Structure 1
Amino acid sequence: MPDAQALVDAHHHVWDLEVRPQPWLDEPAHDPIRRTFSAHALRSAATRPIAGRRLTSTVVVQCIASVPETRDLLALADSDPLIGAVVGWADLTSPAIGDVLDDLRSGNAGGYLRAVRHLVQAESDPHWLQRPDVERGLRAVGERGLGYDVLIGPHQLPQAIRLAQRLPELPLVLDHAGKPPIARRELADWEQQLRALARHSQVRCKVSGLITEADHEKWTVDDIRPVWDVLLSAFGPDRLMFGSDWPVANLAGGWNRWAATVDELLTGCSATEIHAVLVGTATTFYRLTPAPTKEGTECF
């Protein structure tokens, strides 16, 4: 039977500014999070249960285009029982992408690498995901049994749809629901494209990063609910996974406020559906060890 106590955070970050700079934090809007954040800090922050569940396992996700950062994240996963998987980075355009992935996976902690991500949202090429060198790299990812985290803005959803069409064998997960423009209350185009992407069965979606797309100071659950309703309708609970996007979430309320929001959004869902969103989808996609059997994972 599903463990009614487990809770997986399928998307969070860590960084140590004394070890590796994070240039994206130089933007003035990021002042509140321009400091070091560790996995221990996440434990301290994530005290609010969701549907009676407390955090038991996480997926840590890359921040910058850096293979050394990915190695650091793998080592962290190997040493910290809270972290069950790593989404790393490798240069998808490189002819040596296969060798780089093999090298990352060959180390002592290489088994924690379960997916790769690139910051496509920062690419100006409207067809970046369809570039021949990128597609070659993505095929190398899939051939090694890895998934791909799709980080895009709403205007790039057509790229993700074409990717799903062209590489149906590659497991995909859409980060942050494609960043719907919640603050502008302009969801129609996003919804149309999101539903088109959801028709491809290999695509999953993270219920994450939504509060930072809303008004950071004024958002309420009612601002998030229309997006949730679309996601639940388009993907169903078996293809949705909870993620905090911590510590970026601190810009708009933090882990606990987002957890309380997800708790409210899940009202009316069955126990099986709640388990899928909070545990099952992420566990399957990232091949996580069930939290109760990984010694030391429970925070409380």
Structure 2
Amino acid sequence: MTGPEAVTAPVVDAHHHIWDLSVRDQDWITGAAMAPLRRSFAVEDLEPEAGAAGVTATVLVQTVCVPEETPEFLAVAGRGGLVAGVVGWTDLTAPGIADTLAALRELPGGDRLVGIRHQVQGEPDPAWLLRPDVRRGLAAVAAAGLAYDLVVLPPQLAAAAEAARLLPELTFVLDHLGKPPIASGRTDAGTHSGPGTDTGTAAWADAVRTLAARPNTVCKLSGMVTEAAWDTWTTDDLRPYADVVLDAFGPDRLMFGSDWPVCRLAATYGEVYDAARSLTGGLGQDERNAVFGATARRVYGLRDGGGAGGPADGRS
């Protein structure tokens, strides 16, 4: 594609998932609305959709907090092809976390391990990230040269910002903009009010800016369509939220992620990519190339042509 939204460098999709329901259940896929996700999804299913968008490398992200999943994902990445990095899971509170991370690195595909994530959004304690045992685990993640992905809800952003302050050696990657309440930002007239016009969105925007003030934080331009009204969202609904993170983090600390296949609840892969392209259309060429590839390659230490490099410095 040519024009102001064109991306000239190879595209990295910094956030997607796969799962095989014959191996284990995904117990978060419940209810009629989630039925489209109640099937297995493999990298082979993603390849044609990602390829049509010009994606040449992806980051595969954990879905469930079980130790078996990460070795499975590393094996997928180790086969080569689209998956250049894996954000896996391990128990941050375990005393032997450093040994566990080292052991993961020795597995087939272990050189593709680029980050760790826990479902913090499911923790009832909004300050879970600040628990001493969790902070000890985060320090081990940093010592291993890995990034830490944050999947949090808006009330947990304050603890994330404090954790980033306490652990300046660790790169924190905010998934899905911190899940702003996009759908509830719609007015009765059907127009979108945007951040700052109601209590929930204003609190989210303030918390995101506080997090972004820490230089060791990065944000994924991902997950917006499923935080919006699934059947009626428009790019204009997403724009006020994208503008907040673009302003707060800047293109060099922002990276595109599809959140496939979860995005399929609200949009096709192509629609998600096109929306992200439109939302960044006001950027310069180098800035767009950062959002759609360079930031992810630097933060996660991804090598050109797939694969992971050494420890990344994502604090720029």
TM range (shorter): over 0.9
Deviation per CA, 1:211-260: give whole Å up to 9, x if none.
10000011001100001111111011000000000000000112111111
Q: Does 1:7 align with 2:21?
A: no
Tell me the SS of whatever aligns to 2:218.
strand
Q: Does 1:257 align with 2:261?
A: no
Counterpart residue number, 1:96: 96
Does structure 1 retain, via aligned residues, the 8 Å contact 2:84–2:307? no
Counterpart residue number, 1:82: 82
Report how many residues are paired: 288
Deviation per CA, 1:65-117: give whole Å up to 9, x if none.
11111000000001131100000000001112111111111123111111000
Does structure 2 retain, via aligned residues, the 8 Å contact 1:87–1:113? yes
Counterpart residue number, 1:190: 204
Counterpart residue number, 1:25: 29
Paired amino acid for 1:14: I
Cα separation, 1, equivalents of 2:126 and 2:204 = 16
Cα separation, 2, equivalents of 1:155 and 1:127 = 9
Counterpart of 2:42 (choices 28, 38, 42) is: 38
Counterpart residue number, 2:159: 159
Cα separation, 2, equivalents of 1:110 and 1:187 = 39
Structure 2 vs 1, CA of residues 273 and 130 (structure 1 numbering), >3 Å: closer, same or farther?
same
Paired amino acid for 1:289: R
What is the CA-CA distance between 1:125 and the residue it aligns to?
Answer: 1.0
What is the CA-CA distance between 1:134 and the residue it aligns to?
Answer: 0.5
What is the CA-CA distance between 1:5 and the residue it aligns to?
Answer: 3.8
Identity of aligned residues (%): 47
Does structure 1 retain, via aligned residues, the 8 Å contact 2:9–2:293? no
Does structure 2 retain, via aligned residues, the 8 Å contact 1:171–1:203? yes
Counterpart residue number, 2:181: 181
Tell me the SS of whatever aligns to 1:67.
coil
Counterpart residue number, 1:205: 219
Paired amino acid for 2:37: I
Does structure 2 retain, via aligned residues, the 8 Å contact 1:6–1:292? no
Deviates most, 21-30 or 152-161: 21-30
Q: TM-score, normalised by structure 2?
A: 0.88
Counterpart residue number, 1:116: 116
Paired amino acid for 2:281: T
What is the CA-CA distance between 1:154 and the residue it aligns to?
Answer: 0.9
Counterpart residue number, 1:284: 298
Q: TM-score, normalised by structure 1?
A: 0.93
What is the CA-CA distance between 1:46 and the residue it aligns to?
Answer: 2.9
Deviation per CA, 1:185-210: give whole Å up to 9, x if none.
14211111100100000100000001
Cα separation, 2, equivalents of 1:27 and 1:86 = 29
Gaps of 5+ in 2: 1-6, 186-199, 309-316
Gaps of 5+ in 1: 295-300
Does structure 2 retain, via aligned residues, the 8 Å contact 1:48–1:259? no
Cα separation, 1, equivalents of 2:9 and 2:211 = 32
Cα separation, 1, equivalents of 2:146 and 2:224 = 25
What is the CA-CA distance between 1:4 and the residue it aligns to?
Answer: 2.7
Structure 2 vs 1, CA of residues 292 and 246 (structure 1 numbering), >3 Å: closer, same or farther?
closer
Does structure 2 retain, via aligned residues, the 8 Å contact 1:48–1:260? no
What is the CA-CA distance between 1:26 and the residue it aligns to?
Answer: 2.7
Q: Does 1:240 align with 2:232?
A: no
